[in-house]
Structure 1
């Protein structure tokens, strides 16, 4: 008798919960059951048609339990093991979880052998708080960014972008850059500014833009922006005195700025993938150092998991909305049809999707 599971599927111009066949793992493959998953900014861009990633089931942030393992899978990934998946394979572009391979917003996900042999499936301690799963991968991205920025010992960190990455960077900055760093968070909406003002862990400066400020040098900037806002954010950071810039946000094809003549920003961001090379490649333009990255290394995920375990309440409130598969599909439809991030009368920072056998 064939088995099926429920999944949030993008198809036929809409987003809905549908039944899909549950495929047993073949040699080297894993079948996992998502427990909690998150919806990230790139997911929302896909929902809005701003990206053409083909996977009908999205979702690359989460924690799952191994259900079945194919022949040859190591015993460390035996059924029952709690795992997270590094979504960006550093050497196999055919595996990008939730983008070109079906993601975690479903009851069962089949992980191909390349994810297993590539070490992309990481066992987690049995005591891991799975409710924090939606924060694990984005906090790992922040760990990668701040680890590189930290080698330049900034006195000021400009965080541009008030989504989940921006807020995580604000809360983690002193833990990973040192107690003396001064942090400014630059918002793009009044709703975002209002959310930050009510935060239990606000930045030192909450700004609508960078005009008129004179940050103490050396200044670093982390650009946590959607691809259509990254160049403007980069130029504002450079104008404000940033000498080290992490172009963490996406970039449109052919992205460039006259403030960095001769620098191919798209190539700069593509030069570091999945934590490789280590240390990352950094481009130089006069006194400016600029780098970018796609994905993280496993060590960044493990560092993020340790940080969440050590101080969960520092980050938990950033999961502003929680729901099940059906509720998540409804939220995703609303986000697809609007540029707003207000859901249920509250600003959405991170959607947590709870997935159970009964969904």
Structure 2
């Protein structure tokens, strides 16, 4: 492979001085152990929106870690399973190397070409796919993988009731995936925190899911006996409020809580004295350890609970999520609410950064999918 003299530029959504701009960037080429991938469609997630709003200080100018991509070129030393043309998903979280967090401290997928560094390739984070969902649904592979991880953790409690806090994309994914992982007999409640979210759910009902909260009066209905699981799919600044509500859930059974939604720095709950919530969430990372870690705790009101959480996902979760989206696209397609070109994406992203609302052009935004026009690969003779 020879080094190119002049690669074509490619379009990228770049964060500069608090704004997102559509820029033309030089297309990199892979050194030994590296890969270059191209992104047909990339997704914007809740964590990305937090970065746009300045709630996180992740430094990558180009964010985004959601989407099925294709290998364009490979540096020396790349296995044949990752040959150019291979559809892959990139696991954004390296369980052993904190220098790689795709779209956070390493440039992400909201651009036509992305260079995947050797540490991610060596770590097995570039995962070839055999069951490939269409490009728009590909933006849901990583978030659905995270949801499947969380539901798999909660499944150990054999819950009769699942309470999902949060009416965004993660909450909606969770109620769609719950019965496949927890059994068709589980009762599912989706707790909304906005009237807009409640109205969207009522227009897009999920079989077996009860919509509560939002603009409806009153609290949760009686939960009955049997184990209860709570999944906190809230933004990080809403996690502690959701946790307080979950710890006071009624019902006569055991309670297990998954801290899915992240935590603000130094987060603590007066209801869980002495519990390091960040440590609880970080105890499981990228699919490890097996079996997963749970923390037993006693609330300030004397109730015994089990706490868990995770960072990142394992490759197996990604493969399972891709297969689920490939096999049952109709169950998830309504969650990709906005599909736009990059210039329009920059406008929407700047609007999301400026306020707290998630309504875009009159429609509630769950998943923004940014479609990059198929870009020709750099000529083979230049690689």
Q: With the length of structure 1 as denominator, give the TM-score of the two structures.
A: 0.97
Pairwise CA distance, 1:204: 2.8
CA contact (8 A) 2:147 2:170 kept: yes
CA contact (8 A) 2:37 2:73 kept: yes
Residue 281 of structure 1, aligned match among 286, 293, 302: 293
Residue segments in structure 1 that go unaligned for 5+ positions in a row? none
Whole-Å separation in 1 of the counterparts to 2:131 and 2:247 = 45
* Match runs of 1:104-183 below 5 Å: 104-125=109-130, 128-183=133-188
CA contact (8 A) 1:213 1:240 kept: no
Stretch of structure 1 that moved more, 3-12 or 122-131: 122-131
Runs of 4+ in 1 over 6 A off after TM superposition: none
CA contact (8 A) 1:185 1:203 kept: no
Pairwise CA distance, 1:211: 2.9
Q: Residue 61 of structure 1 aligns to a residue in which SS?
A: coil
CA contact (8 A) 2:132 2:323 kept: no
The question of 1:25 aligning with 2:30 is answered: yes
- Residue equivalent to 2:223: 215
- Residue equivalent to 2:380: none
Pairwise CA distance, 1:126: 6.8
* Match runs of 1:190-339 below 5 Å: 190-201=195-206, 204-208=209-213, 211=219, 213-216=221-224, 217-241=226-250, 243-286=255-298, 287-339=304-356
Whole-Å separation in 1 of the counterparts to 2:281 and 2:371 = 33
Whole-Å separation in 1 of the counterparts to 2:131 and 2:332 = 20
CA contact (8 A) 2:33 2:117 kept: yes
Stretch of structure 1 that moved more, 34-43 or 272-281: 272-281
Which string of whole-angstrom CA distances, capped at 9 and with x for unpartnered residues, describes residues 283-331 of structure 1? 1014210011110000001111111111110000110110111111111
- Over 3 Å counting, the alpha-carbon distance change for 1:352 and 1:203 in structure 2 is farther
Whole-Å separation in 2 of the counterparts to 1:320 and 1:202 = 20
Residue segments in structure 2 that go unaligned for 5+ positions in a row? 299-303, 377-383
Pairwise CA distance, 1:202: 5.3
Q: Residue 180 of structure 2 aligns to a residue in which SS?
A: helix
Whole-Å separation in 2 of the counterparts to 1:333 and 1:261 = 39
RMSD: 1.5
Q: Residue 179 of structure 2 aligns to a residue in which SS?
A: helix
- Over 3 Å counting, the alpha-carbon distance change for 1:212 and 1:331 in structure 2 is closer
Pairwise CA distance, 1:358: 5.4
Structure with larger Rg: 2
Which string of whole-angstrom CA distances, capped at 9 and with x for unpartnered residues, describes residues 117-159 of structure 1? 0000011127542231111101001100111101110000000
Q: Residue 340 of structure 1 aligns to a residue in which SS?
A: coil
Pairwise CA distance, 1:229: 0.7
Q: With the length of structure 2 as denominator, give the TM-score of the two structures.
A: 0.91
Stretch of structure 1 that moved more, 43-52 or 279-288: 279-288
